[in-house]
């Protein structure tokens, strides 16, 4: 499939959530793959189903509804605040039964019956022709002061880091960093942050939480790391802080475990035969998991790569949106 940038889609007005405009990463490439896939499919099929596993503001998939009248989008998202706003904003598409939204984690995709979601039994199937899984989190989540996702924002942000802040049974990042043993912290930093100083950093965090009484905010965590490594270069400490935040976020939301479960179930329960699957990753841990599954599927003759190598943002996109720099788009077409 061709994957040149689509100049006509280069600039558009995206839905703002909480007054924050979010630009979906690799937008042009996702649209090009989707357009090419639909153009090559049998035109006798009346409806094509698109599963947007991390719907967010709908800025990836809703514009496709505008272009393809025979497309239906099922959007999943764990963020209830986002879902409520989108249900209002996209009410027209929902009433037309062209868009259905479900407040759930993408790992549960196989258990969502599209016929019930669309309240439409004719022309809708259990599995989907096109599946998009964008593993990034959005600008409005980064800037939401209730979340504590960003190490670059206000130091008073609580260390929550849950994608669904209304999940009372789920531990927050603050629960983890204050409740885990030094050995458990060491494992989290090593496994999810790929932190080479994991042993020493875990020790400093334990010492810091004793000194502070409790590590409660993003500023507390940054302070513990900076004071624990006074002789480190500033850039190195900033990278250490970045890796610690990543490790805590992944541990809080079971991100890698959910990704593995989804990839395991996708061929049998989520994607239609001859379907297209697209996954956008943002760091090496995600890349490793996705690449392993795609290679396994290809080896087992279940299909082939949509593109031989993962697609990366153009220099223009990186210039316009620095958060896109580490993104990679993996594609697979099932047979």
pLDDT by residue for the chain (335 residues), tens digit each? 433 333 333 334 445 544 445 578 999 999 999 999 998 876 667 889 999 999 999 999 999 999 999 999 999 999 888 899 999 999 999 999 999 999 999 999 999 999 899 987 667 888 999 999 999 976 666 666 677 888 877 788 899 999 888 888 899 999 999 999 999 999 999 999 999 999 999 999 999 999 999 999 999 999 999 887 767 666 778 889 999 999 999 999 999 999 999 999 999 999 999 999 999 999 999 999 999 999 999 999 999 999 999 999 999 999 988 889 999 999 999 99
Q: Which residues pair with 35 in a beta bridge?
A: none
Closest CA to 115 of 77, 87, 74: 74
Dmax (CA) of the chain: 68
Contacts of 209 (CB under 8 A, 6+ apart): 177, 178, 215, 224
Q: Are strands 71-77 and 48-52 parallel, antiparallel or unpaired?
A: parallel
Planar angle of CA 14, 16, 21, nearest 5 degrees? 70
H/E segment holding residue 86: helix 80-89
Residue 113 DSSP SS3: coil
What architecture (CATH level 2) is domain 14-139+256-334? 3-Layer(aba) Sandwich (3.40)
Place of tokens 């050995």: 183
Cβ atoms within 10 Å of 157's Cβ, excluding its own: 20
Topology of 144-253 in CATH?
A: DNA polymerase; domain 1 (1.10.150)
Closest CA to 205 of 171, 248, 152, 257: 248
Q: DSSP letter for 266, please.
A: I
Place of tokens 């990366």: 312
Residue 125 DSSP SS3: coil
Rounded to the nearest 10 degrees, what angle do helices 284-299 and 255-265 cross at?
A: 10
pTM of the model as a whole: 0.90
Count CA atoms closer than 13 A to 56's CA, side-chain side: 25
Can you give the length of the chain in residues? 335
- Is the CB of residue 277 less than 8 Å from the CB of residue 331? yes
- What is the residue extent of each domain of the chain? 14-139+256-334, 144-253
Rounded to whole angstroms, the Cα distance separating 195 from 201 reads: 9
Cβ atoms within 10 Å of 298's Cβ, excluding its own: 13
């Amino acid at each position: 499939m061709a994957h040149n940038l689509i100049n006509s889609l280069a600039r558009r007005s995206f839905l703002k959530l909480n007054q924050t405009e979010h630009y979906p990463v690799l937008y042009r490439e996702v649209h090009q793959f989707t357009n090419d896939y639909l153009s090559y499919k049998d035109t006798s099929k009346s409806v094509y189903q698109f599963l947007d596993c991390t719907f967010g503001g709908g800025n990836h998939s809703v514009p496709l509804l505008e272009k393809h009248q025979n497309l239906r989008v099922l959007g999943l998202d764990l963020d209830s605040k986002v879902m409520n706003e989108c249900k209002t904003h996209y009410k027209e598409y929902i009433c037309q039964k062209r868009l259905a939204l479900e407040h759930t984690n993408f790992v549960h995709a196989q258990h969502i019956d599209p016929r019930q979601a669309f309240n439409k039994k004719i022309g809708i199937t259990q599995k989907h022709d096109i599946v998009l899984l964008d593993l990034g989190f959005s600008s409005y989540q980064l800037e939401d002061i209730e979340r504590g996702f960003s190490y670059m924002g206000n130091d008073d942000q609580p260390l929550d880091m849950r994608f669904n802040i209304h999940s009372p049974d789920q531990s927050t990042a603050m629960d983890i960093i204050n409740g885990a043993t030094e050995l458990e912290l060491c494992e989290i930093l090593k496994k999810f942050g790929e932190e080479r100083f994991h042993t020493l950093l875990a020790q400093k965090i334990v010492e810091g939480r004793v000194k502070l009484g409790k590590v409660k905010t993003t500023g507390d965590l940054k302070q513990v790391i900076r004071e624990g490594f006074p002789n480190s270069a500033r850039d190195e400490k900033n990278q250490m802080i970045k890796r610690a935040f990543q490790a805590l976020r992944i541990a809080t939301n079971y991100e890698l475990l959910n990704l593995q479960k989804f990839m395991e179930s996708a061929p049998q329960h989520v994607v239609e035969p001859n379907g297209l699957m697209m996954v956008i990753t943002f760091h090496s841990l995600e890349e490793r998991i996705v690449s392993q599954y795609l290679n396994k599927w290809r080896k087992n003759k279940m299909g082939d790569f949509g593109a031989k190598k993962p697609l990366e943002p153009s220099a223009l996109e990186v210039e316009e949106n620095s958060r896109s720099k580490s993104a990679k788009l993996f594609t697979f077409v099932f047979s």
